């Protein structure tokens, strides 16, 4: 029997809803995440579905001047695009909005846009010259080793470096602070994989069985673009923008007995 048919029957779902759950990678077969609707299962296979259901929020403006807008991107919202994206939300009030970088749909946090030609060209140059300092918060499975402070490995043949600080950890999970001078695609997630560590909620770079129920209930990949720091491309003043973490990130920390209090400033 195909997985989608088993889902429909066992969980009393419509075909559309079953396909949606599979596409969102929320279905597990024998603790293994499966995202292929035609995947063959038998009566002996155990099917579980992550009980994830969270509302996508609107982006909050964190900083704005005549050239730049920074927002706190909620999880589940695309960075750019004509519909259901941060860009489309901002375009309602700023017709000349331009994206200068992107973060993954499931990743939350600081996202920068320009609203002037000078801002756009200036920010692009800052990113190109690696003059924007970016900090991320991430929750990984397991106790992260103190010996790993830098991952300096090329990605797609290009220079990439990720600096790592352990904020708090236990045997189940670790809260890490990442600084990424470079910005390669999925850099943090791919560098972590090189060390055999993975973000909670990771759905692309690992297919290891998910036996801990607490991990199955994580609503998305636990990565948050926490802070950016740069010299303003027009005024040349130092700008530092911090994005508060979202409720789901806080609740995950609480469930894992990890505290963020007094860990960052």
User: Which residues lie below 8 Å from residue 95, measured CB to CB, with a gap of 6+?
Assistant: none
Q: What is the pLDDT of residue 167?
A: 96
| Closest among 200, 210, 214, 213 to 255, alpha carbons compared | 214
One domain for residues 178 and 212? yes
Q: How is residue 157 written in tokens?
A: 């043949």
| Residue bearing the bigger pLDDT, 36 or 231 | 231
Q: Which domain holds residue 214?
A: 60-255
Q: What percent of the chain has pLDDT over 70?
A: 96
Distance of CA 250 to the CA centre of its chain: 14
Q: What is the pLDDT of residue 51?
A: 65
In a domain, 260, yes or no: no
One domain for residues 28 and 88? no
pLDDT at 44 over 70: yes
pLDDT at 72 over 70: yes
Mean pLDDT to the nearest integer, 178-204: 93
Q: Which CATH number does the domain housing residue 84 bear?
A: 3.30.2350.10
One domain for residues 118 and 147? yes
Q: What is the pLDDT of residue 86?
A: 95
pLDDT at 219 over 90: no
Mean pLDDT to the nearest integer, 218-225: 91
Mean pLDDT to the nearest integer, 75-98: 91
In a domain, 54, yes or no: no
Q: What is the pLDDT of residue 162?
A: 97
One domain for residues 120 and 163? yes
pTM, to two decimals: 0.81
pLDDT at 195 over 70: yes
In a domain, 195, yes or no: yes
Mean pLDDT to the nearest integer, 196-204: 92
pLDDT 10s digits, 133-148? 999 999 999 999 999 9
One domain for residues 67 and 45? no
Per-residue pLDDT band at 187 (split at 50, 70, 90): very high
pLDDT at 265 over 80: no
One domain for residues 150 and 128? yes
Mean pLDDT to the nearest integer, 83-110: 92
| Residue bearing the bigger pLDDT, 77 or 216 | 77
The total of structural domains in the chain comes to 2
pLDDT 10s digits, 125-182? 999 999 999 999 999 999 999 999 999 999 999 999 999 999 999 999 999 999 999 8
Mean pLDDT to the nearest integer, 221-240: 96
Q: What is the pLDDT of residue 57?
A: 78
């Amino acid at each position: 029997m195909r997985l989608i048919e088993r889902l429909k029957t066992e969980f009393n779902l419509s075909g559309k809803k079953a396909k949606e759950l599979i596409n969102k990678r929320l279905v597990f077969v024998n603790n293994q995440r499966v995202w292929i609707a035609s995947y063959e299962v038998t009566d002996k296979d155990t099917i579980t579905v992550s009980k994830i259901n969270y509302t996508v929020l609107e982006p909050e403006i964190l900083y704005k001047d005549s050239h730049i807008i920074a927002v706190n991107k909620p999880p589940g919202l695309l960075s750019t695009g004509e519909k259901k994206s941060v860009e489309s939300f901002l375009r309602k009030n700023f017709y000349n909005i331009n994206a200068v970088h992107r973060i993954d749909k499931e990743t939350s946090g600081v996202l920068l846009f320009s609203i002037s030609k000078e801002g756009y060209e200036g920010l692009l140059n800052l990113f190109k010259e690696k003059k924007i300092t970016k900090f991320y918060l991430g929750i990984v499975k397991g106790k992260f080793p103190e010996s790993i402070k830098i991952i300096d490995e090329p990605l797609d043949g290009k220079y990439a470096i990720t600096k790592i600080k352990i904020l708090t950890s236990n045997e189940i999970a670790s809260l890490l602070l990442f600084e990424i001078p470079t910005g390669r695609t999925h850099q943090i997630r791919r560098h972590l994989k090189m060390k055999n560590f993975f973000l909670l909620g990771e759905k692309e770079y690992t297919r290891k069985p998910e036996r801990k129920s607490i991990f199955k209930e994580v609503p998305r990949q636990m990565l948050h673009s926490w802070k950016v720091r740069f010299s303003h491309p027009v005024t040349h003043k130092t700008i530092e923008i911090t994005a508060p973490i979202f409720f789901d990130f806080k609740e995950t920390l609480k469930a894992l007995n990890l505290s963020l209090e007094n860990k960052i400033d």
